[in-house]
Amino acid sequence: MRDALALPLRQLKELRTKVTKESIKDFLLSIPRTPFNVFSAVILALGCLVTLLRFTAGLGFVTNLDDNTPWGVWNPFKIAGVALSACGYCACAAYYIFGLKHYKAVVRPAITCAFLGYLIAMVGMLHYDVGQPWRLVFPIVISQGTTSILFEVGVCVFLYLCVLFAEWTPAAFEWLGWDKIRAFVIKITLPMTIFGIILSTMHQSSLGALILTSPGKLHPLWYSAYIPVFFFISSMFAGLSMVVVEGVLSSRWQRNATDEAYLNSLDGVALSSARGCSLIMIGYLCIRVFDLAMSNSWAYFSTGYGALCLLELIGFVLAPAILYAAGAREKRIGLIKLAAFWTVAGVILNRFIIYLFALNWQLPPDERYSPSAMEIILLLFIVVLIITVYRVICWLMPVLRGHSGYADH
Amino acid sequence: TCPTGALVFGKREELLRLARQRIAKSPGKYVDHIYGEKEMGGTNWLYLSPVPHAELGQPEVGTTSVPELTAGALGAVPMVAGLWPVFLGGAYAISKRREKVAAEEQANAVSDAVKTAEEKAAASLEAALAKAEKEKETALENAAKEQETALAAKDEESAAAIAKIQEEAAAKIAKAEKATAKTKAASGTARAPAKKAAKAPAKPPKVSPDKKEP
Confidence band of B11 (pLDDT split at 50, 70, 90): very high
What is d(CA B14, CA A50) in angstroms, rounded to the nearest whole number? 49
DSSP code, position B26: S
pLDDT of B190 over the 60 cut? no
Contacts of B73 in chain A (CB under 8 A): 149, 205-206, 209, 212, 228
Mean pLDDT along residues A365-386: 92
Instruction: Quote the pLDDT of residue B199.
Output: 52
Beta bridge partners of B47: B35
Identify the burial level of B205 via C-beta atoms within 10 angstroms of its C-beta, where 0-12 means exposed, 13-18 middle and 19 or more buried.
middle
Q: With an 8 Å Cβ cutoff, is A95 touching chain B?
A: no
Mean pLDDT along residues A21-36: 81
List pLDDT tens digits, range B132-152: 999 999 999 999 998 888 898
Q: How many of the other CB atoms lie within 10 Å of CB of A340?
A: 28
Most confident of A232-246, B168-182, B183-197: A232-246
Identify the burial level of A317 via C-beta atoms within 10 angstroms of its C-beta, where 0-12 means exposed, 13-18 middle and 19 or more buried.
buried
Of A41, A37, A40, A13, nearest in space to A27 by CA: A13
Q: A216, B95: Cβ pair inside 8 Å?
A: no
pLDDT of B202 over the 70 cut? no
Of A23, A26, A40, nearest in space to A384 by CA: A40
Would you give the end-to-end CA distance of chain B in angstroms? 173
Residue A371 · residue A73 · CB < 8 Å: yes
Cα-based distances in Å from B172 to B198, B201, B206, B212:
12, 10, 15, 15
Of A101, A80, A98, nearest in space to A89 by CA: A98
Amino acid at B19: A
Q: B73, A206: Cβ pair inside 8 Å?
A: yes
**Regarding predicted confidence, which is higher, A384 or A24?**
A384
Of A382, A315, A343, A329, nearest in space to A244 by CA: A343
Of B36, B40, B29, B66, nearest in space to B53 by CA: B36
Residue B173 · residue B197 · CB < 8 Å: no
pLDDT of A262 over the 50 cut? yes
List pLDDT tens digits, range A324-368: 999 999 999 999 999 999 999 999 999 999 999 998 888 888 888
Q: With an 8 Å Cβ cutoff, is A212 touching chain B?
A: yes
Instruction: Quote the pLDDT of residue A2.
Output: 55
List pLDDT tens digits, range B60-110: 888 888 888 888 888 888 899 999 999 999 999 999 999 999 999 999 999
Instruction: Quote the pLDDT of residue A1.
Output: 45
Q: Note whether ipTM > 0.90 here.
A: no
Report percent pLDDT > 70 for chain A. 95
pLDDT of B48 over the 80 cut? yes
Lowest mean pLDDT among A193-202, B8-17, B50-59: B50-59
- Report how far Cα A187 is from the mean position of its chain's Cα atoms: 27
Residue A308 · residue A358 · CB < 8 Å: yes
Residue A62 · residue A372 · CB < 8 Å: yes
Nearest C-alpha of chain B: how many angstroms from A102? 14
Mean pLDDT along residues B13-42: 91
Q: B66, A202: Cβ pair inside 8 Å?
A: no
3-state DSSP of chain A: CCCHHHCCHHHHHHHHHCCCHHHHHHHHHHCCCCHHHHHHHHHHHHHHHHHHHHHHCCHHHHCCCCCCCCCCCHHHHHHHHHHHCCHHHHHHHHHHHCCCHHHHHHHHHHHHHHHHHHHHHHHHHHHHHHCCHHHCCHHHHCCCCCCCHHHHHHHHHHHHHHHHHHHHHHHHHHHHCCHHHHHHHHHCHHHHHHHHHHHHHHHHHHHHHHHHHCCCCECCCCCCCCHHHHHHHHHHHHHHHHHHHHHHHHHHHCHHHCCHHHHHHHHHHHHHHHHHHHHHHHHHHHHHHHHHHHHCCHHHHHCHHHHHHHHHHHHHHHHHHHHHHHHHHHCCHHHHHHHHHHHHHHHHHHHHHHHHHCECCCCCHHHCCCCCHHHHHHHHHHHHHHHHHHHHHHHHCCCCCCCCCCCCC
**Regarding predicted confidence, which is higher, A214 or B122?**
B122
Would you give the end-to-end CA distance of chain A in angstroms? 28
Q: What is the mean pLDDT of chain A?
A: 90
- Tell which phi-psi region holds residue B28, choosing left (phi > 0), alpha (psi between -120 and 50) or beta: left
C-alpha angle A228-A233-A235 in degrees, rounded to nearest 5: 95
Considering CB atoms only, which of B66, B88, B95 is closest to A99? B95
Mean pLDDT along residues A280-288: 97
- For residue A228, what is the nearest residue in chain B, using CA coordinates? B73
Beta bridge partners of A218: A359
Q: With an 8 Å Cβ cutoff, is B60 touching chain A?
A: yes
What is d(CA A389, CA A392) in angstroms, rounded to the nearest whole number? 5
Instruction: Quote the pLDDT of residue A241.
Output: 97
What is d(CA A217, CA A339) in angstroms, rounded to the nearest whole number? 32
Cα-based distances in Å from B1 to A34, A321, B4:
62, 61, 9
Residues 300-339 of A with CB under 8 A from B: none
- Tell which phi-psi region holds residue B5, choosing left (phi > 0), alpha (psi between -120 and 50) or beta: left
Q: With an 8 Å Cβ cutoff, is B190 touching chain A?
A: no
Contacts of B91 in chain A (CB under 8 A): 97-98
Instruction: Write down the H helix ranges in B188-214.
Output: 192-202, 209-212
Mean pLDDT along residues A261-278: 94
- For residue A226, what is the nearest residue in chain B, using CA coordinates? B73
Instruction: Quote the pLDDT of residue A69.
Output: 85
Cα-based distances in Å from A124 to A12, A78, A129, A210:
26, 10, 10, 19
Contacts of A363 in chain B (CB under 8 A): none
Instruction: Quote the pLDDT of residue B214.
Output: 46
- For residue A362, what is the nearest residue in chain B, using CA coordinates? B59
What is d(CA A152, CA B77) in angstroms, rounded to the nearest whole number? 9
DSSP code, position B36: T
Q: A216, B59: Cβ pair inside 8 Å?
A: yes
Mean pLDDT along residues B186-205: 55
Residues 6+ apart with CB under 8 A from A202: A152, A156, B77, B80, B81
